[in-house]
Amino acid sequence: MTILQTLTDFSNRYGADPDLVLAGGGNTSAKDGNVLYIKGSGTALATITADGFVAMDRRRLDGMWDKTYPEADDAREAAALADLMAAKRPGEENKRPSVETLLHALFPQRYVLHLHPAAVNGLTCAVDGKAWAHRLFAHTVWIDACKPGYVLAKRCRACMEAYKAETGHDAQVLLLQNHGVFFAADDPQTLDDLLADMLDTLRTQYRERPDFTSAAAEDAQLGARLAALYGGVYRFNGSAEAVRFSDSPSSMAPLMKPFTPDHIVYCKAFPLYLRAGDDAEKAFAAYRAAYGFAPKLCYVQHGGFYALGETDKQAATTALLALDAVKIAVYSRAFGGALPQSDALTDFIVNWEVEAYRARKAE
């Protein structure tokens, strides 16, 4: 079996597990000599084929570390993206590699797996997540929250070099605050073992589990009104945990800001919260005026949530990521409570061209 086929097979296997991958989240890569195969941006791991990976020139990727990029966010990321696109091998002109390609290239190991499972992000999105990560996973590198793209890759490089200088070994696992986890190994079985060990360890810490039994009745009239305001369709979820979170504004605090970039891509940065007696049309208009776009997620006091989208697929994806956020909020209680992204980081991602591209690919 070729390296590319092995990569495709384990990508499909991980991608098909909803506890590990939702929508177009996560990415994988493999190295073969001077070639790095990386998942194309916005491509779903569950269904990716060999043609969905982008062949990259590793020498040109390494050369990006010798360049000086602008300080300004837009200029820096545009220049880094241009160099990333220029590092594609011949014949890959119509493909766009994952924005995390440079980070994958940092690992000397042959295979890299990057995931954002709620079971892991209960730790990475928690107030005391860093301290617990050091306690539970002594040989794992923790990366503090920072802007994605070139800035993240540069920080990971520095932390990985420091880890190797201290331990004499290459890092195999990176935990990224408010983001997810990277695993690296020379064979898929070791990836399986690293992932299983982390999940097993975390599950021993989670004494609370999300409750997704039905607890609220759908208000079809409200759903139809919200869908019409959005210009699409809706999906209702009246799970017990979602209703419990929506009982009061204060209880909603863990869910009123995004945990990870995926939640911004698929649910927008902030949900709309409707209290009992609120005028949905006025609240929707006020939200649009405040943020410049329509909400994709609406929590209703005592009434669960309504996920919105232009198509049923979009609405279903919004609902999946909303439930993922609920899971993270519940799991994070084991590690000091929920820690959403900072406003500055959220603002960067909202206005970042790369994530806008990924959102379009997901439509």
Residue 145 in domain: yes
196 and 60 within one domain = yes
pLDDT above 70 coverage of the chain, percent: 97
Residue 40 in domain: yes
Among candidate residues 136, 171, 203, the one where a domain is terminated: 203
Judged against a pLDDT cut of 80, whether residue 126 lies above it is answered with: yes
Among candidate residues 143, 168, 203, the one where a domain is terminated: 203
272 and 177 within one domain = no
What is the side-by-side order of every strand in the sheet holding 141-143?
53-57, 35-39, 27-32, 111-115, 180-185, 173-176, 141-143
157 and 228 within one domain = no
Residue 341 in domain: yes
348 and 250 within one domain = yes
Dump pLDDT digits (tens) for 177-201: 999 999 999 999 999 999 999 999 9
225 and 192 within one domain = no
Q: Which of 133-137, 246-250, 270-274 has the weakest average pLDDT?
A: 246-250
Please tell me the predicted confidence (pLDDT) of residue 249: 85
57 and 18 within one domain = yes
- What is the extent of the structural domain holding 156? 3-203
Please tell me the predicted confidence (pLDDT) of residue 356: 52
253 and 155 within one domain = no
Residue 263 in domain: yes
Half-sphere exposure of 276 (CA within 13 A, CB side): 6
102 and 166 within one domain = yes
Mean pLDDT on 60-79:
94
Please tell me the predicted confidence (pLDDT) of residue 359: 54
- SS3 string, 201-233, reads HHHCCCCCCCCCCECCCCCHHHHHHHHHHHCCE
Residue 80 in domain: yes
CA dist., res. 255 & res. 87, Å (int): 39
Among candidate residues 203, 236, 265, the one where a domain is terminated: 203
Judged against a pLDDT cut of 60, whether residue 363 lies above it is answered with: no
Residue 304 in domain: yes
Kind plus residue range of the DSSP H or E element containing 290:
helix 280-291
Mean pLDDT on 264-283:
95
Total number of domains constituting the chain: 2
274 and 138 within one domain = no
The letter for the amino acid at 155 is: R
Judged against a pLDDT cut of 90, whether residue 361 lies above it is answered with: no
Q: How far are the Cα atoms of 44, 142, 149, 355 from residue 110, in angstroms, in the given order? A: 21, 21, 22, 27
Please tell me the predicted confidence (pLDDT) of residue 354: 55
CB 112 within 8 A of CB 28: yes
Closest CA to 91 of 54, 50, 40, 48: 54
Please tell me the predicted confidence (pLDDT) of residue 64: 96
Counts for the chain of helices (H) and strands (E), in that order: 15, 11
253 and 338 within one domain = yes
Residue 195 in domain: yes
Mean pLDDT on 103-127:
98
101 and 7 within one domain = yes
Residue 211 in domain: no
CA dist., res. 324 & res. 237, Å (int): 13
CA dist., res. 114 & res. 98, Å (int): 11
Please tell me the predicted confidence (pLDDT) of residue 335: 98
CATH at 310 = 3.40.225.10
Mean pLDDT on 141-146:
97
68 and 137 within one domain = yes
Mean pLDDT on 196-221:
96
